[in-house]
Structure formats: structure tokens, C-alpha cells
Amino acid sequence: MSRKKRCIIIYAEGETEIEFYDSILIKAKEKYGISKFNADKIIKKCLRGITKFDKKLLKKFEYEIIPKYKDYEIIVFLCYDTDVFDCSSNPPVDWKNVELALKKFGTNKVIHIKAERCIEDVFLIDIRGICNFLNIKYISKISGKDGVTKMQNLFKKGNRIYQKGYACDGFISNLDIEKILEKSKTMLEPFIMEFLPENIKL
């Protein structure tokens, strides 16, 4: 009996996140010496922010994914920041409902990749790499109430503007992905594991 084809879909809030998860996969290939992931199709979808994330996601899934990949084993990654959900009595997305809806559509597995507070806090693990990108001297401490504000303040020092979610040419490629992986194992290992061939273990 032939193996069922696997389709892995990554949903993220912005372009920067999509580029970041791409770099994680490139590093995984390098680290584990593999040429091919355990997936026949990898799809990346940028949903442009958390506003109506669930509605945009489910609509795209129903009309763009299901017609093409209904015969595949479908694995969905939901990648998002947790800051807007922490201690909120009315969070913008009900993740349990999103997961239930995806499974009703035929998704085999839904995996949540949560950036504690925000993805910028993950990027800031490598402040040195960001400073190199901005062509400024290394700064060990950055002011700001949260990761986004800290990133904006750091970019200002390099006479640049940081816009959350929007691609910034050269930014992600300057980050030390190995360092970020080491410091963010809990968040990123479930992501990597799904792509590795079954004979490879983390």
C-alpha cells in the first residue's frame, strides 16, 4: 500500500515570520544533513496580522487548500504571538474553534507554534545580529515595553523603520538561527520535527 502524500501548511501573521520559518527549515536541512523534507507539498500563507486571522485562514483553507489537497495527509501550523491573548477577556481569535474547524475540513493534525509574547522577542535573542544588520555598534540593553517597541527603538538607532510583519530585506538572513534555535527549543522543535524524515530524531 503506497504512502499517503503529506501536505504541510504554515499560517503566519506576517512576511517576516514566513521568512523566519523558512530560515529555520534551511538550518534544519543543514543541521541534519537531509536533502528532502517529509512532505510532498509545503505551503506558506501570510495572513497580514492577527485581525480576522481565523476568518481569513479558514476561508483560504476551504477554497484554496481542500480542492487541491483533500487526498493528502494535511498538517497545519498556526504560528502566532501570544501577547494579545495573555490575560485578555475577549481575545481576537478562538484557537480551539479554529482547530475544530480545520479538523472538520479534514486536517489530520494542527500544531500551534506560539511566540511567547511576540516574535520580536525571539528575534531579539540575537541582538548582535540585528545590530550588524543595522550597521550599528552592539547594544546589550534596549529600552521598550515589549519586543515590538524594543525592535522599533533599535531600528531607529540605525535610521531605519521597523514595521511589524513586513519583509525587511536582509534582516532575517543576518540573524544567528542556530543561537535562536538553542534558546527557543520549546517553541521551534515541534515545528522542525514535523518536517524531518521519520528515521531522524532531534
- The per-residue pLDDT string of the chain (202 residues; one tens digit each, 9 = 90 and over) reads 567 899 999 999 889 999 999 999 999 999 999 989 999 999 999 887 777 778 888 988 999 999 999 999 999 999 999 876 555 556 778 889 999 999 999 999 999 999 988 999 999 999 999 999 999 999 988 999 999 999 999 999 999 999 998 889 999 999 999 999 999 999 999 999 999 988 787 7
Classify residue 86: in a domain, yes or no.
Answer: yes
Rounded to the nearest angstrom, the gap between the alpha carbon of residue 178 and the centroid of all alpha carbons in its chain is: 16
Classify residue 128: in a domain, yes or no.
Answer: yes
Classify residue 200: in a domain, yes or no.
Answer: no
Q: What was the pLDDT predicted at 181?
A: 95
Q: What was the pLDDT predicted at 19?
A: 96
Alpha carbons 34 and 3: distance in angstroms, whole number: 20
Classify residue 48: in a domain, yes or no.
Answer: yes
Report pTM.
0.91
What 3-state DSSP class applies to 21?
A: helix
Q: What pairs with residue 42 in β-bridges?
A: 8
Alpha carbons 141 and 144: distance in angstroms, whole number: 10
Q: What was the pLDDT predicted at 3?
A: 75
Alpha carbons 165 and 183: distance in angstroms, whole number: 22
Classify residue 168: in a domain, yes or no.
Answer: yes
- How many domains does the structure of the chain reveal? 1
Alpha carbons 23 and 27: distance in angstroms, whole number: 6
Question: Counting beta carbons within 10 angstroms of the beta carbon of residue 36, is it exposed (0 to 12), middle (13 to 18) or buried (19 or more)?
Answer: exposed
Whether residue 118 contacts residue 83, with contact meaning beta carbons closer than 8 Å, is answered with yes
73: containing domain: 6-193
Classify residue 183: in a domain, yes or no.
Answer: yes
Q: What was the pLDDT predicted at 92?
A: 75
Classify residue 57: in a domain, yes or no.
Answer: yes
